[in-house]
């Protein structure tokens, strides 16, 4: 008995099921340069007698051709809790949409992380924040994103004030960030450790 042509061809091209011995195939990763990201009015600091800190700025991402020919500018803002009137870390945070809304190619988020120096003593460990990195992301799709990273130097984040000291960012408020466009690889899920940051 002859098999129908469509069924026969389907059997020929069917790939074997993953039996756990071979990892599933992934799309090759492509990294391409893009025009610089532009950050304006960057501000960060602790709030006196409030145990809070803030980070806010405007960021402009370049166009994503051929889908668009205009840049995308959004305002990012975060207020967090700190026990020492210092600037704290910011988890991955959307700038321009709610978690409940559907994702779009205009979704932008950022995070702020500190390098930490640890000193070990018999009964305690002292952690001293050093430089910080601000990472900016624009999600084009599950497999494609634009990103950039900017370092905030420790010297630009001094403690100011005598009676009520607080940490304030005093570095450049306007700066550019080298950007890249990353396509392929595993699915990128905001809120998890970005695979792109290790590339």
The percent of residues in the chain predicted with pLDDT above 90, rounded, is 43
Question: pLDDT of 77-91, one tens digit each?
Answer: 999 998 888 899 999
Q: Considering the domain boundaries, does residue 162 fall inside one?
A: yes
Question: pLDDT of 5-46, one tens digit each?
Answer: 443 344 334 444 444 555 555 567 888 999 999 999 999 999
Q: Considering the domain boundaries, does residue 145 fall inside one?
A: yes
pLDDT for position 49: 86
Specify the DSSP class assigned to residue 89.
-
How many residues in the chain? 199
Q: Which backbone phi and psi does 117 adopt, to 5 degrees?
A: -100, 125
pLDDT for position 172: 97
Alpha helices in 65-183 (DSSP H): none
pLDDT for position 28: 74
Q: Considering the domain boundaries, does residue 168 fall inside one?
A: yes
Average pLDDT, the chain: 79
pLDDT for position 45: 95
Task: Identify which has the larger pLDDT, 118 or 33.
Answer: 33
Q: Domains in the chain: how many in total?
A: 1
Q: Whole domain around residue 110: which residue ranges?
A: 32-182
pLDDT for position 68: 81
Q: Considering the domain boundaries, does residue 3 fall inside one?
A: no
CATH number, domain with residue 147: 2.40.350.20
Q: Considering the domain boundaries, does residue 167 fall inside one?
A: yes
Q: Which of 192, 150, 199, 183 is nearest to 32 (CA)?
A: 183
**pTM across the whole model:** 0.75
């Amino acid at each position: 008995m002859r098999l129908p042509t469509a069924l026969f061809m389907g059997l020929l091209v069917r790939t074997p099921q993953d039996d756990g011995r071979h990892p599933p195939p992934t799309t090759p990763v492509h990294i391409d340069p893009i025009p610089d990201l532009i950050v304006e009015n960057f501000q960060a600091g602790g709030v006196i007698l409030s145990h809070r800190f803030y980070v806010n700025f405007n960021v402009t991402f370049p166009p994503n051709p051929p889908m668009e020919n205009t840049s995308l500018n959004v305002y990012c803002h975060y207020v967090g809790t700190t026990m020492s009137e210092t600037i704290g870390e910011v988890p991955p945070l959307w700038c321009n949409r709610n978690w409940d809304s559907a994702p779009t190619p205009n979704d932008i988020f950022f995070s702020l992380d500190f390098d930490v120096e640890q000193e070990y003593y018999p009964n305690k460990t002292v952690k001293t924040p050093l430089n910080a990195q601000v990472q900016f992301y624009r999600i084009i799709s599950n497999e494609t994103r634009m990103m950039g990273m900017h370092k905030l130097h420790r010297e630009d984040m001094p403690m100011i004030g005598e009676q009520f000291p607080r940490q304030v960012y005093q570095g450049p408020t306007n700066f550019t960030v080298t950007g890249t466009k990353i396509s392929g690889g595993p699915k990128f899920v905001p809120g998890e450790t970005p695979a792109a940051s290790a590339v």
